[in-house]
Structure 1
Amino acid sequence: METNIQFVKLPTNEPLEKFVQKKLDKLFKKYNWLIKADVFYKQIKDPKGKGKICDIQLSHPGPRIFATSNEESFEKAADETIKDLKTQLKKLKSEMNPHL
């Protein structure tokens, strides 16, 4: 599986890349029909104290799956985004027709 991690207007953070890669590897093992993941980290000014955004887009046969979250840290944002993706993947898997 291919994973592209981009930091939008931010310096590259290797520990954060490894963190999200480890989480995505678990998804790729569970859902072997996933093709690619695009991860985008962004930071915005948020008066509520949040502002760390993680967007993840998954490619698979069919329409792409997308989730985003805005949290106090990039790790929390990645966790929440992957949690949302897991929910979408479970629903998608239940709707898929098995090939006979």
Structure 2
Amino acid sequence: MANINIQFIRMNTSENLEMFILKKLEKVTKFYQNLIDINVYIKYENSSENKGRICEVEMKQSGLHLFASANENDYQIAVTNAIDQVKRQLDKHKAA
């Protein structure tokens, strides 16, 4: 089982969002059991250029380091998009 670390940056911790993240990651770790570390960073940036709800996901596997980031108007959408991006990267490496 992967070591999962969730950090909330420039915002308060949200148990609901943390449970949502863990549920999404459960689907990934079910198919990729050789993941070592998963770091999820939830950030808020007040900027007129961006949407402001940011999720960054970093996954480490033996010899492999993957990263994805999503900036959306809603944290759940940002989490879903970032995790989907990393899952696609894992699928590419699995197929190679």
Return 5+ residue gaps in structure 1 as ranges: 96-100
- Distance of aligned partners of 1:59 and 1:49 in 2 relative to their CA distance in 1, 3 Å threshold: closer
Percentage of pairs with the same residue:
37
**Over aligned residues, Cα RMSD in angstroms?**
1.1
How far apart are residue 2 of structure 1 and its match?
1.4
Point out the structure with the larger strand share. 2
Q: SS at 1:40's partner residue? A: strand
Q: SS at 2:35's partner residue? A: coil
Residues 22-41 of structure 1, C-alpha deviations (whole Å, 9 max, x = no match): 11011001111111210001
Q: SS at 1:35's partner residue? A: strand
Tell me the equivalent position of 2:36: 35
CA distance in 2, matches of 1:85, 1:50: 21
Residues 49-92 of structure 1, C-alpha deviations (whole Å, 9 max, x = no match): 61100000001011310000000011000010011111101101
| Letter in structure 2 aligned against 1:18 | M
Moved beyond 6 Å, runs of 4+: none
Tell me if 1:19 matches 2:20. yes
Please, what TM-score do these two structures have when normalized by structure 1? 0.90
CA distance in 2, matches of 1:63, 1:49: 30
Please, what TM-score do these two structures have when normalized by structure 2? 0.93
How far apart are residue 48 of structure 1 and its match?
5.0
The answer as to whether partners of 2:38 and 2:60 remain within 8 angstroms in 1 is: yes
| Letter in structure 2 aligned against 1:58 | M
Bigger radius of gyration, 1 or 2? Answer: 1
Tell me the equivalent position of 1:59: 60
Tell me the equivalent position of 1:47: 48
CA distance in 2, matches of 1:35, 1:26: 15
Return 5+ residue gaps in structure 2 as ranges: none
Paired residues, number = 95
